[in-house]
């Protein structure tokens, strides 16, 4: 009987018959979802298969006309790919893979690389579901990567394919999320605690860093914080740029009140070990089920520094704020206590980026051979599971690279399409082990074509930063490890006189910046000796030096060809993928690549049922 079931099921799947579903609202069986427009007209759902490198999308739009979804780039919609489809008044469907040849004109791709899985229309929604490879062999299709992806959604009021800018939307999304919140446990005894600034009058300045010191929850025994989320008060024109929570050493003498984090009173910059970070575009984040922030033991911090960066570019008066971070904690203990290691370019006062740069790279080195000595106790290997990337408006890409014994080991994390407005804590697809003695390099890519003066590192949004926060376990006492180049050497390479660091930085304003001098400055910054500054939770500082190693590029994987997925109004089914001529691990994987993602999942689920079915004689 089980054999009969498989023989009935698999031919249907192998033929690529679309799996359709009629829904009256924005719901989907695909795991990830969000609205793409301010009016909540366009609802996107998606899921993916990392091994098969295929992603499925479902677009639900409040329209009786055509709908479209694809991928675009940072600077222009020209060249974007757009999969379009709809249901004609007679009930027939149309579907094709297209691209934008200019801002308003669509053209059908020569290679059809999207496969239709379902297309319906009801009294409210037109719903289109399709799958596509992460990387097709069509140059008109943009890749789906583990970077931030800028998606393009559009629709019409009828079935005439014509772009209307009022109904075209672009949104940055991290599509390949490896952990879904529904996969994580929610303890029954969850307690909520808010760390917030109360009724703070935001100064009438472009940039304000407000800091205050707050106690963590008081508990009689060990608990774990397992989730955090921003607690924001909406202002029409005043925005909260980021919020950081720093753990304080229990020996620290802390000030009271609220003050400028980096102003006249240095006490308000005490505590430098980040334990929670949020920035523009981020949402809540729940730690993996085996890690948490420990509170309630003598070794745990009792106080934190709450830092909120405000950008009040309109200099609005009389705006009060009570934003902060909400944490969720539990007595149900996890296996590991987590920590956060801050890497990157030591922000002030050495960092600079020339104006008019199409591309400029900055580097911050970390050498870990002193970690164990500074930790004050034997230090296990660090197991990294997540990360948060941070630059300001000129940032275009970041990556963290790991080296061991002088050899590049891996890229820990990266985003080649970084978006300042989407800064969120992300999970790694697999955990990364950092051993004592490893070197960690952060590379930040900037573009300053719209600037006519040097951009310096600093706290303001119009200054720059180059930071990566690594979330790891088990916790140690190291809070940050960041580097900066010998600016005197850089100034001399640019033909400027400098005898100290301040003169070196001032000399950058004297350089005539051209494409040639920009590249010369980038080369000098990379070749200069780096000073590495390591700091502990108790504000102990150690310096070392090092040199920037080369970064070996990661080759792109093979593309996945298609046999064509266009559906004309008279067609009933669409053709499937065929694997590109590359070596596969086995015939079973090759077969999986021939099936739509939904079909693959159904096959896998059915195979998992077989032993029980055969045993019971079903």
Least confident range of 98-107, 165-174, 477-486, 572-581:
572-581
DSSP three-state, residue 330: strand
The structural domains of the chain, ordered by start, are: 32-173 (2.60.40.1210), 180-335 (2.60.120.310), 338-550 (2.60.120.230)
| Own/partner long-range contacts of 432-435 (Cβ < 8 Å, ≥24 apart) | 432/383, 432/384, 432/402, 433/381, 433/382, 433/383, 433/384, 434/368, 434/381, 434/382, 434/383, 434/384, 434/402, 434/472, 435/368, 435/381, 435/404
548 DSSP 8-state letter: P
Copy the structure tokens of residue 522.
Answer: 């980038």
> How far apart (Å, rounded) are the C-alpha atoms in residues 224 and 215?
15
Determine the average pLDDT of the residues in 298-322: 91
Reply yes or no on whether the pLDDT at 122 is more than 80. yes
Using alpha carbons only, what angle is made at residue 32 by residues 88 and 74, rounded to the nearest 5 degrees? 80
- Identify whether the C-beta of residue 128 lies closer than 8 Å to the C-beta of residue 118: yes
Cβ-count burial 115-130 (b if 16+ within 10 Å, e if not): bbbbbbbeeebbbbbb
State how far the alpha carbon of 334 is from the alpha carbons of 224, 234, 238, 289, 432, in Å: 7, 34, 38, 7, 19
Reply yes or no on whether the pLDDT at 576 is more than 70. no
Instruction: Indicate the burial class of 594 (C-beta count within 10 angstroms; 0-12, 13-18, 19 or more).
Output: middle
**Block residue for tokens 């989320």:** 229
Q: How many CA atoms lie within 13 A of 415 on its CB side?
A: 31
Copy the structure tokens of residue 133.
Answer: 């490879």
> How far apart (Å, rounded) are the C-alpha atoms in residues 371 and 341?
11
% of the chain exceeding 70 in pLDDT: 86
Cβ-count burial 263-301 (b if 16+ within 10 Å, e if not): eeeeebbbbbbbbbbbbbebeebbbbeebbbbbbeeebb
Cβ-count burial 184-210 (b if 16+ within 10 Å, e if not): eeebeeeeebebbbeebebeeeebbbb
Tell me the residue ranges of DSSP E strands in 435-549: 439-446, 455-456, 467-473, 478-485, 530-536, 541-546
The answer to whether residue 390 is catalytic is: yes
**Is pLDDT larger for residue 578 or for residue 74?**
74
Cβ-count burial 220-259 (b if 16+ within 10 Å, e if not): eeebbbbbbbbbbeebeebebbbbbbbbbbeebebeeebb
Instruction: Check residue 29 and give its pLDDT.
Output: 81
- Identify whether the C-beta of residue 599 lies closer than 8 Å to the C-beta of residue 19: yes
Cβ-count burial 371-389 (b if 16+ within 10 Å, e if not): bbebeeeebeebbbbbbbb
- Identify whether the C-beta of residue 398 lies closer than 8 Å to the C-beta of residue 551: no
Determine the average pLDDT of the residues in 388-393: 93
> How far apart (Å, rounded) are the C-alpha atoms in residues 36 and 173?
10
State how far the alpha carbon of 396 is from the alpha carbons of 177, 425, 426, 513, in Å: 20, 18, 18, 20
Question: In 419-562, which ranges are continuous DSSP H helix?
Answer: 487-493, 501-507, 515-527
Give how far the C-alpha of residue 537 lies from the chain's centroid of Cα atoms, to the nearest Å. Answer: 26
Query: Which residues lie across from 245 on neighbouring strands?
Result: 276, 306
DSSP three-state, residue 551: coil
Residue 3: which residues within 8 A CB-CB, separation 6 or more?
A: none
Instruction: Check residue 27 and give its pLDDT.
Output: 66
pLDDT digits (tens, 9 = 90+) for 76-99: 888 899 999 999 999 999 999 999
Rg (CA), the chain: 27
pLDDT digits (tens, 9 = 90+) for 259-307: 999 888 888 888 888 899 888 888 889 999 999 999 999 989 999 999 9
Residue 458: which residues within 8 A CB-CB, separation 6 or more?
A: 347, 348, 351, 464
Reply yes or no on whether the pLDDT at 33 is more than 80. yes
Least confident range of 177-181, 403-407, 411-415, 444-448:
177-181
> How far apart (Å, rounded) are the C-alpha atoms in residues 531 and 64?
62
- Sorting pLDDT into bands at 50, 70 and 90, what band is 7? very low
Instruction: Check residue 608 and give its pLDDT.
Output: 40
Catalytic residue among 94, 125, 155, 209: 209
- Sorting pLDDT into bands at 50, 70 and 90, what band is 590? very low
Beta strands at 291-295 and 324-330: parallel, antiparallel or unpaired: unpaired
pLDDT digits (tens, 9 = 90+) for 55-78: 999 999 999 999 999 999 888 888
Residue 499: which residues within 8 A CB-CB, separation 6 or more?
A: 488
Catalytic residue among 224, 241, 390, 445: 390
> How far apart (Å, rounded) are the C-alpha atoms in residues 183 and 96?
34
Instruction: Check residue 609 and give its pLDDT.
Output: 40
Copy the structure tokens of residue 138.
Answer: 């069509």
- Sorting pLDDT into bands at 50, 70 and 90, what band is 401? very high
Instruction: Check residue 564 and give its pLDDT.
Output: 55
Peptide bond into 183 cis (omega under 30): no
Beta strands at 478-485 and 339-345: parallel, antiparallel or unpaired: parallel
Reply yes or no on whether the pLDDT at 42 is more than 90. yes
């Amino acid at each position: 009987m089980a054999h009969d079931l498989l023989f009935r099921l698999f031919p249907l799947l192998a033929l690529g018959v679309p799996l359709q579903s009629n829904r009256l609202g924005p719901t989907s069986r695909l795991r990830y979802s969000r609205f793409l427009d301010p009016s909540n007209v366009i609802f996107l759902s998606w899921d993916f298969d990392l091994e098969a490198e295929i992603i499925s999308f479902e677009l639900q739009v409040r329209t009786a006309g055509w709908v479209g979804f694809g991928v675009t780039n940072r600077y222009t919609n020209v060249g974007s790919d757009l999969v379009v489809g709809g249901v004609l008044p007679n009930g027939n469907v149309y579907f094709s893979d297209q691209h934008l040849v200019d801002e308003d004109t669509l053209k059908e791709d020569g290679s059809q690389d999207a496969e239709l899985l379902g297309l319906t229309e009801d009294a409210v929604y037109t719903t289109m579901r399709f799958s596509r490879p992460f990387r097709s062999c069509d140059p008109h299709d943009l890749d789906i990567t583990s970077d931030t992806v800028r998606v393009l959604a559009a629709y019409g009021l009828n079935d005439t394919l014509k772009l209307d800018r009022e109904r075209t939307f672009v949104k940055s999304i991290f599509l390949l999320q490896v952990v879904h919140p529904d996969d994580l446990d929610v303890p029954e005894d969850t307690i909520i605690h808010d760390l917030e600034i109360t009724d703070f009058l935001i100064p009438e300045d472009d940039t304000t860093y407000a800091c205050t010191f707050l106690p963590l929850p008081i508990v009689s025994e060990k608990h774990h914080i397992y989730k955090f989320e921003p607690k924001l008060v909406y202002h029409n024109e005043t925005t909260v740029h980021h919020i950081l929570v720093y753990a304080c050493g229990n020996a620290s003498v802390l000030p009271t009140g609220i003050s400028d984090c980096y102003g006249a009173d240095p006490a308000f910059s005490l505590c430098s070990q980040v334990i929670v970070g949020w920035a523009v575009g981020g949402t809540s984040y729940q730690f993996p089920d085996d890690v948490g922030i420990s509170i309630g033991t003598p070794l745990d911090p009792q106080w934190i520094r709450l830092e909120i960066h405000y950008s009040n570019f309109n200099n609005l008066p009389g705006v009060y704020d009570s934003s902060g971070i909400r944490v969720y904690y539990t007595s149900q203990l996890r296996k590991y206590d987590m920590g956060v290691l801050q890497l990157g370019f030591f922000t002030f006062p050495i960092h600079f980026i020339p104006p008019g740069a199409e591309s400029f790279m900055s580097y911050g080195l970390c050498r870990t051979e002193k970690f164990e000595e500074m930790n004050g106790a034997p230090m296990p290997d660090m197991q990294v599971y997540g990360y948060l990337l941070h630059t300001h408006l000129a940032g275009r890409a970041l990556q963290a690279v790991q080296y061991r014994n002088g050899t590049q080991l891996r890229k820990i994390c990266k985003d080649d399409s970084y978006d300042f407005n989407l800064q969120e804590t992300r999970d790694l697809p697999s955990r990364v082990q950092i051993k004592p003695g490893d070197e960690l390099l952060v590379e930040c890519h900037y573009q300053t074509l719209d600037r006519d003066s040097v951009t310096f590192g600093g706290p303001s949004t119009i200054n720059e930063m180059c930071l990566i926060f690594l979330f790891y376990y088990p916790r140690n006492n190291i809070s940050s490890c960041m580097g900066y180049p010998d600016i005197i050497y850089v100034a001399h390479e640019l033909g400027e006189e400098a005898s100290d660091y301040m003169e070196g930085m001032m000399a950058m304003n004297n350089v005539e910046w051209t494409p040639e001098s920009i590249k010369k400055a980038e080369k000098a910054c990379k070749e200069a000796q780096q000073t590495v500054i390591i700091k502990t939770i108790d504000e102990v500082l150690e310096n070392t030096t090092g040199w920037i190693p080369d970064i070996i590029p990661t080759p792109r994987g093979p593309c996945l060809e298609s046999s064509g997925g266009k559906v004309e109004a008279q067609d009933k089914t669409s053709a499937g993928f065929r694997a590109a001529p590359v070596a596969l691990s086995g015939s079973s994987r090759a077969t999986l690549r021939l099936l739509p993602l939904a079909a693959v999942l159904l096959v896998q689920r059915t195979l998992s049922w077989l032993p029980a079915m055969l045993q019971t004689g079903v």
